[in-house]
Amino acid sequence: YAAKRSRSGIEAYRADMSRRLERRIDMASRLDQALRHGELQLHYQPQVRLDDGGIVGMEALLRWHDTELGWIRPDEFIPLAEERGMIDAVGDFVVGQACAQIRAWRGAGLLLPGRLALNISAMQLDADTFSERLITAVTRAGLSPTEFDLELTESGIMVDPVRSLAIMKLLKAAGFSLSVDDFGMGYSSLSHLKGFPFDKIKLDGSFVQGMLTDRSDYAIVMATVTMARNLGLQLVAEGVETADQAVALKSIGCELAQGFLYGRACPPEVFAARWLQSAPAAGH
């Protein structure tokens, strides 16, 4: 009986695996199409000051809506793009669209409150042409690297730390600012961080969400706030969802936040209406 049961278990498992594999293959070809047809789009989420909720910057978050599969999360399709050798194309698309958006906002007379943050995955950093392509795309669009912040994960830069450091120095010298994304989720975060030219730490939302109920999450948030201050780095608390979390963060000296409490990532028109102000008219 047990053997029979486990055999059918294995069969069910195999069927499930092959369904998943099919979904991934199907999704890969759809992603490829979406990319060709420009069907991916960037949404934008504000970064704010905790004391008055004023906007200080924004993060571009990639969205993919497939007519059959519906909304697909970047946590699902970015790894897929990496697996299928499409990540450089995805990255180029993101940079192109981000540049076009900044130009469009500016063209409409809107004032950008700070840098636009772009997410860069480990494998993007891996391509030899990465920094060159990025700098070329930005300058060809008539923009400056000083308008952008690049979010790298610790695990991403640790794939090849020596090489990452060289690339990061180059990007810094070009004018980009650099942030550690998902801080706290990697290994040996503290000791490794000091050798890299980061400007900002983004504390992973999981700690913020746990900080009022879990002592160790609270301790990690506290330690990160102190460490960022002592290292002279900016700190953004990610994933702030409730007013209580915001109050607690403020009380321990955290100044910047991002999260649903302030605003979800939204399409550019919605973002502009909610967060961007017109530049004062020139010549007066």
**Residues at the contact surface with Mg ion, assessed by CB under 5 A:** 119, 151, 181-182, 238
The distance of closest approach from Cβ of residue 261 to Mg ion in the complex, given in angstroms and rounded to an integer, is 16
Site of tokens 């700190």: 235
The distance of closest approach from Cβ of residue 187 to ligand C2E in the complex, given in angstroms and rounded to an integer, is 17
Q: Does 181 bind ligand C2E (CB under 6 A)?
A: yes
Q: Does 92 bind ligand C2E (CB under 6 A)?
A: no
The distance of closest approach from Cβ of residue 273 to ligand C2E in the complex, given in angstroms and rounded to an integer, is 19
98 beta partners: none
In the complex with Mg ion, which residue's Cβ is closer, 201 or 276? 201
CB contact at 8 A, 161 and 192: yes
- Measured over the CA atoms of residue 85, residue 165, residue 131 and residue 183, the dihedral's sign is positive
CA dist 187 and 203 (Å) reads 14
Q: Count of CB atoms within 10 A of residue 23's CB? A: 12
Burial class of 245 by CB neighbour count within 10 A (0 to 12, 13 to 18, 19+): buried
Quick one: how far is CA 86 from the chain centroid? 18
In the complex with ligand C2E, which residue's Cβ is closer, 81 or 112? 81
Binding marks (x or -) toward ligand C2E, 225..264, rule CB under 6 A?
-------------xxxx----------------xxx----
In the complex with ligand C2E, which residue's Cβ is closer, 145 or 245? 245
* 182: nearest Cα among 59, 49, 51, 96: 59
In the complex with ligand C2E, which residue's Cβ is closer, 57 or 239? 239
The distance of closest approach from Cβ of residue 7 to ligand C2E in the complex, given in angstroms and rounded to an integer, is 39
Which of 34, 152, 168, 265 lies at the binding interface for ligand C2E (CB under 6 A)? 265
The distance of closest approach from Cβ of residue 94 to ligand C2E in the complex, given in angstroms and rounded to an integer, is 4
CA dist 145 and 115 (Å) reads 9
The distance of closest approach from Cβ of residue 261 to ligand C2E in the complex, given in angstroms and rounded to an integer, is 7
Q: Does 147 bind ligand C2E (CB under 6 A)?
A: no
CA dist 44 and 38 (Å) reads 17
Q: Does 151 bind ligand C2E (CB under 6 A)?
A: yes
Distances in Å between the Cα of 249 and the Cα atoms of 41, 192, 198, 237 are 32, 25, 22, 8
The distance of closest approach from Cβ of residue 238 to Mg ion in the complex, given in angstroms and rounded to an integer, is 5
Q: Count of CB atoms within 10 A of residue 155's CB? A: 15
Binding-residue total with ligand C2E (CB under 6 A): 23
DSSP-assigned letters across all residues of 109-148 = TEEP-SPEEEEE-HHHHHSTTHHHHHHHHHHHTT--GGGE
Q: Does 46 bind ligand C2E (CB under 6 A)?
A: no
Which of 31, 58, 78, 254 lies at the binding interface for ligand C2E (CB under 6 A)? 78
Interface residues with ligand C2E (CB under 6 A) are: 45, 61-62, 73-75, 78, 94, 119-121, 151, 181-182, 205, 238-241, 258-260, 265
